Chains A and B, each alone.
Chain A
């Protein structure tokens, strides 16, 4: 970074600096990850591009503050709310850049402008702050409806202490040892593997080069990514609480776990579930998801997953857990195609269905019939024991895809 862009302190651009700070604070409140370093960067960036054009100013701040595609809208809105008055910029330029004032023909006018500008700007700041508040309130108001919905249907606090303890101790012991995959990285190994020349040569030096003991290396393994797609619609609501605990335990047990909840729409809750504290995590999830206990649109939600997320999370041999009862509001419309695509993009697709607890379960509903032919494994998931069985099943060495599905497919034929 150019030294000169930072060393001239705030005295020449105090207002601009302050406003950029306010702007950064507004963005931070809106959820963008912005630290003090970014504010310094932004100030340097704005100085570098100059204040000649509004769009340059916009894109300079954009380059610093935005670092994910989905932040662009927030930034855009915030920018236009915050820097709404185009004259504000003009006036600030006069404050920021002394040379511009020198260019002005009448010093009186410049002086006047300056005082006027300061006065106006303070007024404006207040107004802007108010506006920002209003804006926030509106946004909050938009979310209250769904908040209420959540509280009615999903009251985590009501979970009895016993229930919590039992579930947690059970889930804590539950490790999901999915067969590990070999990576392209190496680790030193004492027995077997390829010769590690780098380590061998360093070892040789230690002994003065008389003997050259061979050091070996072996490919490292790691668990594959685990993607959970969980149905939280009305028909699943009695299992939701336990399933969320299950997903929380899994997320904290290993890395590369991505969790999506769906009812009528798809929500990525991975970040919330990463919180260590289960209550905090679940209440965040409760806030984030807007469609608890509503209808199910399996096809549309999986389609959304395929289009927006599959390429981002299913790389590197992912295993997908699809948790749903297969009861679909759209009556199986489009489900088969989307589940088929899902299966083709992952290493293994496992369907967990709470309805399997009933002995007489028959694959009758359209949703179930659409999904069944495309999964590799079909298992119950109605209590903690079934989760234990799942863990056991997953630790088995890799079998041919869809190996255990023949009996189910036969039963489906019979029902038809």
Chain B
């Protein structure tokens, strides 16, 4: 799920209060067009209530990042996103000094004459030379209440950065040697996601509530399609969900995620399809499967088999 629906929430509305129960959490996510399991809502509610980060793990395309986006929108909070990559360091995650302006400042002080070391030192490490990166931004006061901090794909960073996060996530403070410690008055709502390209250290996970975001079952996936691809005919949606669910049972190298289901439905709608037929499936399989081996395996007879199977199953349930 990568796209946010324009109808979701009310942009610019007054910040909503945090949900007071699991049921409210469910409806909060529903308001943001996110169809969530009750189990996910429980984990999220706990994270909000007890002020801990929520650690979401799962395959690519199951909607982990979307949760943070929806949460920010539904609560009327700012969303601050830290996209992780290998080599991410404090300079690009927390803060950086604006060196060029500082250099200029030094030159100007020199030109004016009489700048002694002490005043120079205190002058050039001032707030106005500070470039705030996502983590620092998240700790500062925000008009609409504490922001939602999304630390996306944490598994892509290296261990040193992960270790750095330990302090930030447990105490919600960072230390800038020249200015002192910045501590959040209200801790941000933190969502951490990981695609599990490597294991995250237990020390970090220990500070978070954990939830494994799984592929949805057929019923929920159908609900998601209704929300995310409202233009698709009901019969087509059912077939798409049936097909995708069937694919996930096979031993594929990369199973299609919810994002792929939605993309595929959009693609089929664009092609004016009212129902699935073997030729269209074969032609559009690339939207669903992202490995050539998988495509080669499914294309043709296997796709036909699944198609016949789901059509007969749907017919048996009286929903063609």
Contact = CB atoms under 8 A, between A and B. Distances in A.
Given A2-B49, A67-B202, A201-B99, A311 B197 contact: yes
A44 B50 CA distance: 8
B97 A201 contact: yes
Given A59-B42, A307-B253, A67 B120 contact: no
B89 interface: yes
Nearest to B43: A63
Contacts of B117: 205, 208-209
B206 A38 contact: yes
B55 A2 contact: no
Contacts, number: 122
A150 interface: no
A48 B52 contact: no
Interface string A165-195: 0000000000000000001111000000000
A148 interface: no
B42 A60 contact: yes
A119 interface: no
Nearest to B39: A59
Given A48-B50, A201-B97, A315 B198 contact: yes
Contact of B38 (A37, A45, A55): A55
A52 to B, nearest CB: 9
B163 interface: no
B251 interface: yes
Interface stretch (B7-15, B134-142, B208-216, B230-238): B208-216
A63 B87 contact: no
Contacts of A37: 206
A209 B198 contact: no
Contact of B39 (A1, A62, A184): A62
B277 interface: no
A33 B49 contact: no
Interface string B63-106: 00000000000000000000001110101000011010011001
A306 B106 CA distance: 57
B112 to A, nearest CB: 12
Interface string B259-279: 000000000000000000000
B121 interface: yes
Given A63-B209, A197-B99, A69 B106 contact: no
Nearest to A5: B50
A176 B178 CA distance: 43
A299 B121 CA distance: 65
A56 B120 contact: no
A361 to B, nearest CB: 32
B166 interface: no
Given A55-B38, A55-B39, A209-B109, A2 B50 contact: yes
B22 interface: yes
B206 A63 contact: no
A1 B87 contact: no
B42 A49 contact: yes
Contacts of A45: 46, 50, 209
Contacts of B99: 197-198, 200-201
A56 B44 CA distance: 12
Contact of A205 (B42, B49, B120): B120
Given A183-B158, A198-B97, A209-B115, A67 B55 contact: yes
A63 B120 CA distance: 51
Given A37-B206, A63-B43, A67-B205, A209 B110 contact: yes
A87 interface: no
A411 interface: no
B38 A59 contact: yes
A312 B55 contact: no
A339 B22 CA distance: 48
A220 B104 CA distance: 30
Contacts of B318: none
Given A198-B97, A209-B106, A63 B158 contact: no
Interface string A37-56: 11001001100111001011
Contacts of A41: 50, 52
Interface string A334-346: 0001000100000
A201 B100 CA distance: 10
A67 B210 contact: yes
B167 interface: no
Most chain-A Cβ atoms within 10 A of its Cβ — which of B47, B197, B293? B197
B57 interface: yes
A185 B87 contact: yes
Contacts of A204: 106
B171 interface: no
Contacts of B248: none
A335 to B, nearest CB: 15
Contact of B46 (A63, A183, A209, A306): A63
Nearest to B209: A63
B145 interface: no
Contacts of B49: 2, 48
B127 interface: no
A1 B209 CA distance: 12
Contacts of B211: 62-63
B87 A183 contact: yes
A48 B45 contact: yes
Most chain-A Cβ atoms within 10 A of its Cβ — which of B47, B102, B212? B212
Given A1-B52, A63-B211, 17 more contacts: A2-B49, A35-B206, A37-B206, A49-B22, A59-B43, A62-B42, A62-B43, A62-B211, A66-B210, A66-B212, A67-B202, A184-B85, A184-B87, A186-B89, A198-B96, A198-B97, A312-B196
26 contacts: A1-B52, A2-B50, A44-B50, A45-B50, A45-B209, A48-B49, A48-B50, A49-B42, A49-B46, A63-B209, A63-B211, A66-B210, A66-B212, A67-B208, A67-B210, A68-B199, A69-B196, A72-B212, A183-B86, A183-B87, A185-B87, A205-B117, A205-B124, A209-B120, A311-B197, A316-B86
Interface of B: 21-22, 38-39, 42-43, 45-47, 49-52, 55, 57, 85-87, 89, 91, 96-97, 99, 102-103, 106, 109-110, 115-117, 120-121, 124, 158, 160, 196-199, 202, 205-206, 208-212, 251, 253, 293
Interface of A: 1-2, 5, 33, 35, 37-38, 41, 44-45, 48-50, 53, 55-56, 58-60, 62-64, 66-69, 72, 183-186, 197-198, 200-201, 204-205, 208-209, 212, 306-307, 311-313, 315-316, 337, 341
